[in-house]
Amino acid sequence: MMNYSGVAVLGRGLTVVRGDRTVLRGLDFTVHSGRITGLLGPSGCGKSTLIRSVVGTQARTTGTLEVLGRPAGHPGLRSRIGYVTQAPSVYDDLTVRQNLDYFAAVLLPGRAARDARHEAVARAVADVDLISHADVLAGRLSGGQRSRVSLAVALLGTPELLVLDEPTVGLDPVLRRDLWDLFHRLAADRGATILVSSHVMDEAERCHRLILLREGRILAEDTPGDLRTRTRSETVEEAFLHLVDEARAGSAPGGSPGPGTDDTVQETAR
């Protein structure tokens, strides 16, 4: 077992096959504890697949993937990770508070935990700024409000690692900013580690660290500032495009493709 002091997630040679495709190809990456790490890349590049691997719901993974010092998917990790999928997982026929009461009862069962449940629900509703909507049916909420109920559910158990799959999709700029402020509060005040995916490059600037993904490979892993400096770019989006061009040039005929071209990775993953 590796020493994970300061490291929340460690991937080495992570390869994932879905259907007949190798979707992630030998990824090496680190998610640092207490920091916000953005997983960025275009639609279809493998962000959700990587996130599913970290939370332990992805089949056919090979390589090493350690989460909070244990192999991804270990049962002991369930209560330590909060996971928000792209589709809000809430019951439309329950109010916001009833949804949270339900999930709190699963997480903190028994009469003895009644006060703890009550406290956890009240805090989660406040965290996502839904106090005024606590007694509204989830089915009557806007898309952004439903996403925030999902986030509140993930916050109930005060997870050490919060894994969020494109939580700001479809939200207006004000709500997006508020959510990012909340992520920063969770990291600063509670020491939570946050792994958040997005395909919106301007959100990259809000992260402490970035993992840039393209076509199942890591283009770069760095802070936004170092990434911009290194590529002499004004923005992370420009840096991303610079790295894409660099990678293309490297794999063009006459260039030097890195280890594990498409065919070799496909071979070893099967």
- Contacting positions for ligand ATP (CB under 6 A): 18-19, 21, 23, 41, 43-49, 199
- Residue 237: CB atoms within 10 A of its CB come to 15
Task: Please give the residue whose beta carbon sits closest to ligand ATP in the complex.
Answer: 19
Instruction: Please provide residue 23's backbone torsions phi and psi, each rounded to the nearest 5 degrees.
Output: -90, -35
Q: Residue 217 CB, nearest distance to ligand ATP (Å)?
A: 12
Q: Residue 45 CB, nearest distance to ligand ATP (Å)?
A: 4
Q: What is the CA 162 to chain-centroid distance, rounded?
A: 7
- Helix (H) or strand (E) segment spanning residue 196: strand 193-198
Q: Which is nearer to ligand ATP, 52 or 209 (CB)?
A: 52
Q: Residue 22 CB, nearest distance to ligand ATP (Å)?
A: 9
Longest CA–CA span in the chain (Å) reads 69
Q: Which is nearer to ligand ATP, 23 or 108 (CB)?
A: 23
Q: Which is nearer to ligand ATP, 48 or 99 (CB)?
A: 48
For residue 52, what are the CA distances in angstroms to 9, 215, 226?
13, 17, 28
CA angle 111, 113, 115 (to 5 degrees): 105
Q: Residue 87 CB, nearest distance to ligand ATP (Å)?
A: 11
- Give the chain's radius of gyration (CA, Å): 19
Torsion of CA 188, 194, 199, 203, to 10 degrees: 0
- Residue 257: CB atoms within 10 A of its CB come to 13
CB within 8 A of 257, min separation 6: which ones?
250, 251
Task: With beta carbons less than 8 A apart as the criterion, state whether 162 and 186 touch.
Answer: yes
Q: Residue 42 CB, nearest distance to ligand ATP (Å)?
A: 7
Q: Which is nearer to ligand ATP, 66 or 165 (CB)?
A: 165
Q: Which is nearer to ligand ATP, 60 or 80 (CB)?
A: 60
Q: Residue 24 CB, nearest distance to ligand ATP (Å)?
A: 8
Q: Which two tokens stand for residue 127?
A: 């965290």
Q: Which is nearer to ligand ATP, 95 or 197 (CB)?
A: 197
Q: Residue 23 CB, nearest distance to ligand ATP (Å)?
A: 4
Q: Which is nearer to ligand ATP, 62 or 158 (CB)?
A: 62
